[in-house]
Structure 1
Amino acid sequence: MVQAIHAVLVWTGERARWVLLAGCFLAFLLPFLSSAMRPMLPALIALVLGLSVARLDLAAFWRGIFSARRIALLIGTTVLLMPVTALLLYWTIPLLGLPDGFTKSALLFALAPPISSAAGLCFILGYDPRRALELTLVATLLTPLIGPAMLVFLMPGVPGLEVFPLMAKLSLMIALGLAIGLSIRAAIGGDRIAGLKTEFDGLSAIGMVLFVIPLFEGVGPEILARPMLAFGVAVFVLVLNFGSNYCVKTIAHITSSPEVAGALGLMWGNRTVALYLAALPFDPLFSLFVALYQFPMYATPLVFRRISST
């Protein structure tokens, strides 16, 4: 049994790029499973975060971060990543003549931290995983403060948007993810985890596939009922994800190495938007946005190839 599980993890890890994308199509084709797993979404978000944290040397991270310059750089980058990007989208999206729901979805995208598996994707793509680790952790820890405050400031009339309950829900999911990751690392050991890279690639891919399944609850009927809206949302998420990734990567490449620029682009385009899906009242358009957003996000390792091949 142990050998069979190991073989599955290795096989999955070696094909993580394709497994991630296949997971989106699997979720779309299994609506009954999406409905059954929807209550598990907050726990699955924490699990994916935990699997990523388990692979990271947090002790080295804390040792490296404690300098005024480093802290200022990370906080400054987080401000650009979240509030500044949110303001830019808030001002520009309405100029395109899109429905109000698109602006709300774009703001929730901008105010979400990078996906918890950003460092893992950087490993796959040959980008800078340390930069991804640092910015993802800082942005994730600041999300319960930045996200609700900016949302209330920019969208005060959104139903069900209450600052402190939203802060509590976001904080709980993030704290649970950190606890899972630290527990796994303590139980297995950092050196052993580092030696099981392919296996953990496979485990992370499986975790991300499980996480994406409940995001597709009710999406199929919504697409059939409003196909033109669904097409518009699909184009919108492609532009947000790939456009953010490419633009930030190109700009950052002026002053940074390809590895750092690639990591920044990846984090700008790939966000844990599902945090807000799990924390806010149900919104059909935003639910459709989050589900379709998974396709470009999970296709990122295929579209943005390794540094050595670019």
Structure 2
Amino acid sequence: MLTRLVAGLSWLGRRGPAALVVLMLVGMALPPLGAILRPYVGEGVFALLVLAFMRIDPERLKATVRRPGTALLSLGWTMLAVPLCAYVGLTALGVDESAPDLYLSLMLQSVTMPMMATPSIVMMIGLDGTIALVGIVLAGLTMPVLAPAILGVAGVPIELEPTQLAILLAGTLAGSAALGLLVRRVVGAARIQRNREAIDGMNVMCMFVFAVAVMGDVIPSFLADPWYAAGLTLVAFAANVGLMMVSWLVLRPAGGRTALAMAVTASQRNMGLMLAVAGSALPGTVWLYVALGQFPIYLAPVVLKRVATYLK
């Protein structure tokens, strides 16, 4: 039974990027399943982090921390430059006054930390997930301070609870790191390397939980107002792809493959975390934007896996 399970996960892992697209479609097609899985989104995110820490070489992680220039560059770009540029650009275009709900959605996207699944996505496309993992840890440590401050400067009418957010993030990161490194120590790095495809399959299954949980309302929204939903989808793609391309150009001096890993980290934002913190106070547009924002996130690995093979 265990052999068959590992074989099935390995098969899924070898088709990781394509499998994510299929899971996204399943999430849209099965709203009742989304309602069932929605309470387990937190557990799915935690499992993704455990799998990411489990696969990270501690020596490489230590080397990254000892030479923090790249990590600090990623942090400064992701958590300071991006949200401040978003604020300046959106206000210059008058989005804050002409479309306040869209302005709120885009500002929340810009100030939140990267997705906790990002190291898994980075490794799935064939890049080193260490810099992505370090970036997430640093972003998680700084977000409780930076996010409320930038939202305040931007005039975004939302109340965050920095202390509660800090405790949640610290607990999630510390707990997943401890468990992931413990599993690596017990199982052994060699066995983890041999079963990397099965672990990719486990990543896909964890991401399935989130996809199904948030995308159940997509089809009803398109049926109710197709032009509005289509326009919001285009904005979501433009924000994600545009940020990834600009990030790669800005971070290119770090090296092509490293810059791509950091660009993926900068563009794949954890808006689900913002829903968890302030969901009841957010308008429906934000919820729909988060759901539609999964399209570029789940489609990106299909393209980036090919792009990564051409970078040095």
Normalising by structure 1, report the TM-score.
0.88
Q: Percent identity?
A: 25
Hey, what does 2:17 align to over in structure 1?
17
Task: Return the alpha-carbon distance in structure 2 between the equivalents of residues 156 and 95 of structure 1.
Answer: 15
The answer as to 2:57 corresponding to 1:57 is: yes
Matched residue, 2:38: 38
What aligned pairs does 1:193-272 form with structure 2 within 5 A after superposition? Answer: 193-253=192-252, 255-272=253-270
**Alignment gaps of 5+ in structure 1:** none
Superposition misfits of 4+ residues, deviation over 6 angstroms: none
> CA, structure 1 residues 54+148, in 2 after alignment: closer, same or farther (shift >3 Å)?
farther
Contact 2:251 2:262 in 1 (8 A): yes
Paired amino acid for 1:119: P
Structure-2 residue corresponding to 1:143: 143
Change (3 A) 1:280 1:172: farther
CA separation of 1:74/1:307 partners in 2, compared to 1, >3 Å: closer, same or farther? closer
Counterpart residue number, 1:177: 176
Offset at residue 78 of structure 1 (A): 0.8
Contact 1:170–1:275 under 8 Å retained in 2: no
The reply on whether 1:307 has 2:302 as its aligned counterpart is no
Q: Distance in 1 between matches of 2:244 and 2:219?
A: 28
1:78 alignment partner AA: L
Distance 2:112 2:29 in 1: 27
- Per mean C-alpha deviation after superposition, the further-off stretch among 238-247 and 100-109 is 100-109
8 A contact 1:52–1:119 mirrored in 2:
yes
Give the distance between the partners of 1:213 and 1:175, measured in 2 at CA. Answer: 27
Q: Distance in 2 between matches of 1:156 and 1:110?
A: 12
Residues 157-188 of structure 1: per-residue CA shift (max 9 Å, x gap): 22x53333333344444344334433433442
The answer for the alignment partner of 1:109 in structure 2 is: 109
* TM superposition shift of 1:24: 0.9
Question: What is the TM-score of this pair, normalised by structure 2?
Answer: 0.87
Unaligned runs of 5+ in 2: none
What is the aligned partner in structure 2 of residue 71 from structure 1? 68
For residues 57 and 146 of structure 1, do their structure 2 counterparts lie closer, same or farther at Cα, with a shift above 3 Å needed?
farther
How many Å separate the matches in 1 of 2:36 and 2:155? Answer: 32
1:278 is matched with which residue? 276
Structure 2 counterpart of 1:167, one-letter code: A
CA contact (8 A) 1:233 1:289 kept: yes
2:236·2:289 contact (CA, 8 Å) conserved in 1? yes
SS at match of 1:53: helix
Q: CA deviation at 1:297?
A: 0.7
Q: Secondary structure at the match of 1:20?
A: helix
Match status 1:161 vs 2:160: yes
Q: Are 1:288 and 2:288 counterparts?
A: yes
Bigger drift between 13-22 and 52-61 goes to 52-61
Q: Deviations over 1:48-107 (max 9, x none)?
A: 2222122112354135413xxx33542343122112211111121244454112222222
Question: How many residues are paired up?
Answer: 305
CA distance in 2, matches of 1:307, 1:72: 23
> 1:152–1:161: 8 Å Cα contact kept in structure 2?
no
Say whether the 8 Å CA contact 2:47–2:176 is kept in structure 1.
Answer: yes
